[in-house]
Amino acid sequence: MRTLMIACFCVFLSHAGFAAELDQAYLKTFGGGKVIVSGKGVPALGMYDPSQFTFKDGIFFIPGGKNGFFHARALLPEGKTIGQVIDDAKKKFSANVKFLEEEITAFRVWCSHDEGGNLKVGGQYKWPASMNDEPGWASNICDFQTTVDQEKRGWVGQAAKWEDNLKSDVERYLVKARAGTKFFVQFSVGFSSLTPGGQMESKWDSILNKFVQVKSQGLLSYNLMPVAVGTVEVAEGYTPTWTWKMLAKPSKEDGEAEGLISILKAGKEFCQAKVRVKNKYTNTQSGIINWDVSLQHSTDESKRGGFDADAKSLEGAIEKVLEEFAERELAEQ
């Protein structure tokens, strides 16, 4: 579940951090309208440090695994302030301005894989190619919002720190992310509005790809316009202790037919295990199958386990449950 946070200024970033001017080297290197990401430290507003970034072909690279983390900084379109881009958002969402509650900014993050490691991008779901493209394969995994006062309207960008703003939502995806896993980071500005129930308000229609007038349900709405985006890729990711290879594939996916796998630890065979799988049902939209997976040590029947897994293939299901079985049943062997 994502966490929606409305942050205090003192928690989000120190006052001193925005007293300095933006080092123009950021804009010369990356351009405006970009979210820049570092897996080494918080990019300082007033001093660009190229050693903080691994950047190639428009992608920022970071380490994954249990020690993985990243900080982000949004660079606004050159010459703009947060106040100016919020005013642009108000023009875009002019129908809702009269019901304005608060001006806000938001860092939102999407991941290419779900928590189980299933790839969600592909087929009809493409990686965003422009500022206004929003991932359609899943909801965002992080939505960090902060309110904007008069002082913040003068800012030329904004930062999100790992510990304070991102870790609680993103860490569970990053800790077991394999190399190649991607994150899409979007920085948006705008305002919240509360249109009385029954009155008309402007809403984005993702099918028609335009704003349409709909009857309000009397709920708080967020009118957000993307002004900076960035793509992050895990360069060195999680490496499992336990791996496996198929020796004999189950002839059927009915939970009865038996197969055999070799379980390896640090690349060497540790033991063999019998495996049974049952294809319970398939999500026709995502292609992901819900499986029952049963594993049993080939010579010690006391070492066994049954698991539930979501994966697109039998092999993917075994991959997802193997470590839990190995750590529980084999680690002390």
What per-residue confidence (pLDDT) applies to 12?
Answer: 39
Q: How many helices (H) and strands (E) does the chain have?
A: 5, 17
Most confidently predicted of 14-23, 103-112, 196-205, 324-333: 103-112
- Beta carbons within 8 Å of 169's beta carbon, 6+ residues apart: 2, 3, 109, 141, 142, 143, 144
Which two three-digit tokens encode residue 202? 């402007």
- What single-letter amino acid sits at 4? L
Q: What's the mean pLDDT in 100-126?
A: 90
pLDDT in tens, 116-155: 778 889 888 899 999 989 898 989 999 999 999 999 999 9
Is pLDDT above 50 for 14?
no
Distances (CA, A) of 4 to 143, 152, 221, 264, 299: 5, 20, 14, 41, 50
* Averaged confidence pLDDT in the chain: 87
Question: Taking the model in full, what pTM does it have?
Answer: 0.74
Strand, coil or helix: 19: coil
Q: How far apart are CA 297 and CA 282, in angstroms?
A: 28
Tracing tokens 């967020």 back to the chain, one arrives at 222
DSSP state of 42: -
Q: What's the mean pLDDT in 52-59?
A: 96
pLDDT in tens, 74-98: 999 988 999 999 999 999 998 889 8
Q: Would you call 314 exposed, middle or buried from its count of C-beta atoms within 10 A (0-12, 13-18, 19+)?
A: buried
pLDDT in tens, 292-327: 999 999 999 999 999 998 888 899 899 889 988 998
pLDDT in tens, 173-219: 998 888 999 999 999 999 999 866 666 666 666 566 666 777 666 66
**Length of the chain (residues):** 333
Which residue from 76, 20, 25, 68 is spatially nearest to 233, judged by alpha carbons? Answer: 68
Is pLDDT above 60 for 13?
no
Q: What's the mean pLDDT in 60-81?
A: 93
Which residue from 2, 232, 4 is spatially nearest to 112, judged by alpha carbons? Answer: 232
Q: What's the mean pLDDT in 89-114?
A: 93
What per-residue confidence (pLDDT) applies to 28?
Answer: 95
Quick one: pLDDT band at residue 6, thresholds 50, 70, 90? Answer: very low
